[in-house]
Copies of this chain bind each other. A is one copy, B any other.
Amino acid sequence: MNEYMKHKVDLINKTLLELYSKDTALNMILAQAMNYSLTAGGKRLRPVMLMAAADTVGADGDKYVRIACALEMIHTYSLIHDDLPAMDNDDYRRGKLTNHKVYGDAMAILAGDALLTMAFEVISSEAGIDPAVLLRVLWEISHAAGPEGMVGGQALDLLAENKQITLSELRQLHSAKTGALFCASVRAGGILAGATSSELAALTDYAREFGLAFQITDDILDVIGDDKKIGKPVGSDEKNHKSTYVSLLSLDEAKHLAEQSIANAVSALAPFGAKAEFLSVLVKKLLARQN
């Protein structure tokens, strides 16, 4: 497990560096701002999940590392924009100053815009893959990142501030804000690997439950986590009057819901047998996450 993860993450980091050096920005400061957040210690969960989903279906997921890196660019852009003073106004992320604290608001906005755009440039220039399959992957990812997915969820999040929302509203919000891109990551891996429609449905179920468990454990960490390990102050949800799984349920009930989602995610993988071991361990580890 650890070796598998290390291999994938090393490959992703190496490829991000290659893509970044090949596709230099016109302006050095913009390039530095993009690179600052791309290399700020992300866990590379989404790209790892794309490659692991392809492995699970029986292909060689490493072949799709560049497309996987595009997901990390999209994820990174979303963090840069979320942290802006006009949005969540966060000074720290993963133990480092946020992008706008280092490069200023204007350059941070542009670095986010550039990373989002570059992601589509990277995918559309991928060689050796059936163009029709690549277009389908492009659609999955752009749809998940757009107004019906991640950006739509972020808008819901913004409007939910200082407001009590229901558990079902919270679930819809997070299913769009973070869940959609997890789904697209796993589905893209499956599509690239030639998954059948029932395999794709199983992967989608897995990703949906993974996303839910990820968010619940994120909310739990914001209450009981360790600042140093998370890399930003805990208690920010309460400070910002945000509804969370912990505030709407209780710590114990939230944990229980996370355990349930994790069990559902593992069940969804049953059709793949031993080939799904990595994805299975990955979701089980969420309960013990420290960052």
Interface residues of A (CB under 8 A from B): 23-27, 29-31, 34, 77, 81, 84, 86-87, 104-107, 109-110, 112-114, 116-118, 120-121, 124-125, 130-132, 134-136, 138-139, 142-143, 145-149, 151-156, 158-159, 172, 176
Give chain B residues whose Cβ lies under 8 Å from the Cβ of A114.
146-147, 151-152
The complex places the Cα of A155 from the Cα of B107 at a distance, in Å, of 7
Q: List 8 A-B contacts (CB under 8 A).
A: A24-B147, A26-B148, A26-B172, A29-B155, A113-B113, A118-B146, A124-B139, A125-B139
Number of copies of this kind of chain in the complex: 2
Establish whether residues B148 and A23, one from each chain, have CB atoms under 8 Å apart when the complex forms: yes
A101 to chain B, nearest CB (A): 13
Q: Is the interface of A mostly helix, strand, loop or mixed?
A: helix
The complex places the Cα of A118 from the Cα of B116 at a distance, in Å, of 12
Establish whether residues B121 and A26, one from each chain, have CB atoms under 8 Å apart when the complex forms: no
Give chain B residues whose Cβ lies under 8 Å from the Cβ of A34.
147
Give chain B residues whose Cβ lies under 8 Å from the Cβ of A31.
147
Which single member of B30, B81, B107, B110 contacts A113 (CB below 8 Å)? B81
Return the chain B residue nearest A176 by Cβ: B26
A114 to chain B, nearest CB (A): 4
Give chain B residues whose Cβ lies under 8 Å from the Cβ of A159.
27, 29
Give chain B residues whose Cβ lies under 8 Å from the Cβ of A105.
86
Establish whether residues B117 and A124, one from each chain, have CB atoms under 8 Å apart when the complex forms: no
The 8 closest A-B pairs by CB, nearest first: A26-B152, A25-B147, A131-B131, A86-B105, A117-B146, A30-B155, A124-B138, A121-B142
A110 to chain B, nearest CB (A): 5
The complex places the Cα of A156 from the Cα of B106 at a distance, in Å, of 12
